Amino acid sequence: MPPTLPRTRSGRRRTRSPRAGALAPLARRLDRLTEPALTQSSGTAPYAAQVSRTKAVVVACVTLVGLALTYEAGAILLAESDEGGIPPASAVPALPQGVTITTDGMGCGSGGCWRELTLSGPPGQSPADLAASAAPAGQTCTGRSWITARRVCSDVTVTGDEVRLNVYYDRPLGF
């Protein structure tokens, strides 16, 4: 015998809309999980079943939002506490044609660690021109990753005849 629909307070049977929307399968599953056993005398679920279903949906939504916020807070705290992390070689910005990496090292200081690359250009190119072609002046950052709460930043410095490209993680809270 197919399950009967619960009755409203006035005694009429509840009807389900044919256009229940995208959440209809989830609502039906929740109905099956939270619906109390039908009473033998009347064949319908008591009114309290409707309240418990609503509570179940609200609790499920609040739990999902809470889990997502907890995950993101954990990712931010992990990014803040990882001072020794350096971006992988794949995070190095694309270099113009003719520019090569002569050394690839790592530097660390009080704010964290970074990947330090020494660049060389075609013969006859000045270090200032090489720096301008390798990256724009100042700090350049990519978009923040939702999964790790990090963004990769880079900057170019010229010291004498050397052009250095530093690639590092920007820490979200700046601790």
Residue at 102: amino acid letter: T
pLDDT score, position 168: 87
Contact 79, 55 (CB under 8 A): no
pLDDT of residue 62: 92
31 has a pLDDT exceeding 90: no
Closest CA to 124 of 98, 160, 94: 98
pTM of the model: 0.54
| Element counts in the chain: helices (H) and strands (E) | 3, 5
In Å, what is the CA distance from 158 to each residue of 94, 128, 129? Answer: 18, 7, 10
pLDDT digits (tens, 9 = 90+) for 141-153: 887 666 666 788 8
pLDDT at residue 32 in the model: 65
